[in-house]
Copies of this chain bind each other. A is one copy, B any other.
Amino acid sequence: MLTMVSALERVQRLYGARPAIIDREGNFTWSEFFDRVTRVAGVLRDLGIRQGDHYAILCRNGFRHAELIHAGYWMGAIPVPVNYRLAPPEIRFILEDANCTTLIVEDALIGLAATEELSPWRDRILYVAPGRTEVEWPQYEALLASTPPVDCHLSNEDDDAILLYTGGTTGRSKGVRLSHKNVFSNGMQVMHPMGIRSDDVYFHLAPMFHSADLLGTCFTQCGAAHSFLAQFTPAEALSAIQDFGVTVAMMAPTMIIMTLQDKSFDKYDLSSFRLLFYGSSPMAVEWIRRAMERFQGVDIQQGYGLTETSPILTPLDPAEHREALDTGEYGILKSTGQPLVSIDLRIVDDGDQEVPTGEAGEVIVRGPNVAKGYLNRPEENKRAFRDGWFHTGDVGSVDENGNLYLLDRKKDMIITGGENVYSSEVEAALYQHPGVNEAAVVGVPDEKYGEALFAVIVPAPGADLTEEQIISHCRERIGGYKIPRRMAFVQEMPKSAMGKILKTELRKIYGGE
């Protein structure tokens, strides 16, 4: 069965005595983890959560977060892991949109639960703390120990498994309904190209409220172990890789860059580490090269996907990375790779007609990992999920080997004087300047051209950049109409929880959008 319950039961039967959780707070075998999950389900039931209900989780990464999700899978209730970095009104919007009756909050985030916005849930909070605390709520571990396991209440692989909110980068948040089949299928799709082994140790660095964390599914399916970091810092990530014997980690480019720049990098023994998976936003080729050089002996793989696709659509495999490093031909690293098995991917024009190989258009996909749709968004469902295909809103092209090259989010594409400009191409040119640490290009209103290009640049430490330098640097690399004539030099970019630059914010600031 393509359900996460089937996955958990199977590994408990096949790998019961092998490690499921490797953590500073304790290790658990798959049998022990299975037992905890079925008890947590009892705790949730005692809170009044029933099959089909949504419940919100406000927790940092950790094994209790994982068991709180699996308990929902087990009892047929739907976990809604929420980005705890959002403002309280944004969190309240999600809780109301999903009709969450119960809120599960970790001790470190107790301040959030006490805000006025979350007061309607004050009587329906499960408080998650590792041990004794000052508050009067029942102790999580004590509750768990005293609650007997409950029976499974999930029967259908098409039932919702998890509700993940997306769209922080594009305005009002939307809840993506991922079924058990969706999540399970993506695990099956990636386990082959990732070469998962039952003795792997996967490191949950990406926030567990983000779809990127679903990459952990294939490790559960294969009976591998999970380890966690509550909050990312480069030094803690490196020391955890060493201490937990981490073999595989998924990192956002920002995390990788911070880690590579960390002074303590060489202090750690990373010999267990075999695969670094990066994704969620493009990484400049220069940084990929540096990562491959510093993480020596570590395979590097990247993936492109969306919350709506559970999440991976295309991986670019380690062999491609190695070949690029060996030959010095880095072109393929601009690609996100080929669609996974059972994923149909096409590039279409505005009339939904497939465009010829190499030409740009919207990326549309279908496959068992594609979500059913958004919760409470009939209009957006009609637009995005039509004729059996999910319209990603991303603009890209494929080469003669089916490798996908992403150009832009459809709405980030700039139309200036009638010409289409992909911000990614301009940004790639900017990144080639040694004084540029980060760059983003957006369209701003322009009387003459409709839109004009505006570059926002974070200079490298000590770099003294001028507009003229940037323009002349670009002139040697890209066509005249693609050169940003207006720009701003800033200390920091507005970013999402996964380190994605928020262009919506940039357009507001610089374009008066």
Known interface pairs A10-B339, A14-B338; A1-B366 also in contact (CB < 8 Å): yes
Question: Does A184 touch B at the CB level, under 8 Å?
Answer: yes
How far in angstroms is the closest Cβ of chain B from A291? Answer: 25
Contact with A344, one of B1, B184, B196, B221 (Cβ below 8 angstroms): B1
A1 to B400, CA, bound (A): 21
Interface core residue of A7, A187, A192 (most chain B CB under 10 Å): A192
> Is A342 within 8 A of B402, CB to CB?
no
A366 to B195, CA, bound (A): 25
* B-contact 0/1 string along A279-309, CB 8 Å cutoff: 0000000000000000000000000000000
A10 to B367, CA, bound (A): 12
Contact with A341, one of B9, B16, B188 (Cβ below 8 angstroms): B188
A132 to B196, CA, bound (A): 51
How far in angstroms is the closest Cβ of chain B from A82? Answer: 30
How far in angstroms is the closest Cβ of chain B from A156? Answer: 11
Q: Which residues from 295 to 346 on chain A have a C-beta closer than 8 Å to any C-beta of chain B?
A: 338-339, 341-344
> Is B342 within 8 A of A14, CB to CB?
no
How far in angstroms is the closest Cβ of chain B from A420? Answer: 25
How many chain A residues have a CB neighbour from B under 8 Å? Answer: 34
How far in angstroms is the closest Cβ of chain B from A400? Answer: 7
A222 / chain B contacts, CB cutoff of 8 Å: 192, 341
A435 / chain B contacts, CB cutoff of 8 Å: none
A6 to B1, CA, bound (A): 22
How many copies of this kind of chain does the complex include?
A: 2
How far in angstroms is the closest Cβ of chain B from A179? Answer: 14
A9 to B188, CA, bound (A): 20
A222 to B317, CA, bound (A): 14
How far in angstroms is the closest Cβ of chain B from A17? Answer: 8
Question: Does A491 touch B at the CB level, under 8 Å?
Answer: no
Question: Does A475 touch B at the CB level, under 8 Å?
Answer: no
Contact with A16, one of B195, B338, B400 (Cβ below 8 angstroms): B400
A16 to B400, CA, bound (A): 8
* B-contact 0/1 string along A344-368, CB 8 Å cutoff: 1000000000000000000000111
Question: Does A146 touch B at the CB level, under 8 Å?
Answer: no
Q: A14-B402, A191-B192 are in contact. List 19 more A-B contacts (CB 8 A).
A: A1-B344, A1-B366, A1-B367, A2-B342, A2-B368, A6-B342, A6-B344, A7-B341, A7-B342, A13-B398, A13-B402, A15-B401, A188-B342, A192-B192, A192-B196, A192-B222, A195-B195, A221-B342, A222-B341
Q: Pick 15 A–B contacts, CB within 8 A, sort by A.
A: A1-B344, A1-B368, A2-B368, A6-B342, A6-B344, A7-B342, A10-B341, A10-B402, A14-B339, A14-B402, A15-B401, A188-B189, A188-B192, A188-B342, A192-B222
